[in-house]
């Protein structure tokens, strides 16, 4: 439907809204049409809901945004720890847009989050930032727990003060944009949350 068709058929359209108990002006109708044209110009987003930790129960800390209501639109397929850092694979790498945080020269695409279970509470923080084409980030994970405490989320108690033992469970997810101590995003999308036993590099988990 074109804007002119909205204008031509506005009496019938407005009556249909009125029958549903909705009052809408012609300007609002034209604005809705424009929004719908933008929506329909993109392929539909499939929603994945396979969280291994209930996101409604987590406590988000240290300046990361509240993403608990963001839709799950991509699934983590593998996680790799190496001496170069952490690599996390998910299909939205091909389509999530980049953002440029204030003061940055380049763009960032997504943020890796870590979840720790401490005293019966799951705490979560966005901590490692990635740009398009960057596979590994986060530094040498030969001693993963120490590296995370000292460099990933040293600013985020109680996680920064909580050293995990080998094989203890943690959670991981990714969100679009930059979520490390800030909230810079252009789309509100996240991955599912996966749980892994924490092992030192080299190690690969697949899902």
Report the distance separating Cα 191 and Cα 91, nearest Å. 9
Report the distance separating Cα 90 and Cα 84, nearest Å. 19
Higher pLDDT, 184 or 15: 184
Q: Please state, rounded to an integer, the average pLDDT across all residues of the chain.
A: 91
What average pLDDT does this structure show over 168-179? 97
Instruction: Render pLDDT for 30-74 as a digit per residue (tens, 0 to 9).
Output: 877 776 776 666 556 555 668 999 999 999 999 999 999 999 999
pLDDT value at residue 106: 92
Report the distance separating Cα 132 and Cα 92, nearest Å. 11
DSSP letter, residue 154: T
Query: pTM (2 decimals)?
Result: 0.77
CA atoms within 13 A on the CB side of 32: 12
pLDDT value at residue 6: 81
Q: Is the pLDDT of residue 175 over 90?
A: yes
Higher pLDDT, 26 or 92: 92
Instruction: Render pLDDT for 79-117 as a digit per residue (tens, 0 to 9).
Output: 999 999 999 999 999 999 999 999 888 999 999 999 999
pLDDT value at residue 166: 85
Q: Strand 72-74 relative to strand 110-118: parallel, antiparallel, unpaired?
A: unpaired
Instruction: Decide if 101 contacts 131 (C-beta within 8 A).
Output: no
Report the distance separating Cα 24 and Cα 141, nearest Å. 57
| Tokens 């809901």, located at residue | 49
Report the distance separating Cα 104 and Cα 201, nearest Å. 30
Inter-CA distances, 27 with 7, 31, 33, 137, 187, Å? 10, 6, 10, 48, 26
- State the virtual CA torsion across 14, 17, 21, 23 in degrees, nearest 10: -50
pLDDT value at residue 11: 87
């Amino acid at each position: 439907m074109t804007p002119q068709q909205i204008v031509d058929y506005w009496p019938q359209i407005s009556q249909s809204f009125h029958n549903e108990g909705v009052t809408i002006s012609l300007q609002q109708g034209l604005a809705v049409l424009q929004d719908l044209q933008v929506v329909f110009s993109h392929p539909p987003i499939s929603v994945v809901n396979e969280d291994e930790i209930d996101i409604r129960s987590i406590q988000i800390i240290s300046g990361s945004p509240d993403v608990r209501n963001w839709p799950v639109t991509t699934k983590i397929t593998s996680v790799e720890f190496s001496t170069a850092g952490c690599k996390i694979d998910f299909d939205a790498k091909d389509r999530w847009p980049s953002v440029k945080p204030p003061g940055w020269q380049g763009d960032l695409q997504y943020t890796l989050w870590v979840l720790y279970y401490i005293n019966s509470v799951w705490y979560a923080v966005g901590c490692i930032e990635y740009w398009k084409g960057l596979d590994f980030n986060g530094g040498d994970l030969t001693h993963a727990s120490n590296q995370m405490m000292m460099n990933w989320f040293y600013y985020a108690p109680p996680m920064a003060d909580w050293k995990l033992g080998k094989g203890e469970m943690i959670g991981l997810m990714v969100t679009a944009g930059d979520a490390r101590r800030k909230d810079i995003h252009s789309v509100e999308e996240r991955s599912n949350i996966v749980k892994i036993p924490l092992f030192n590099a080299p190690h690969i988990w697949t899902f």
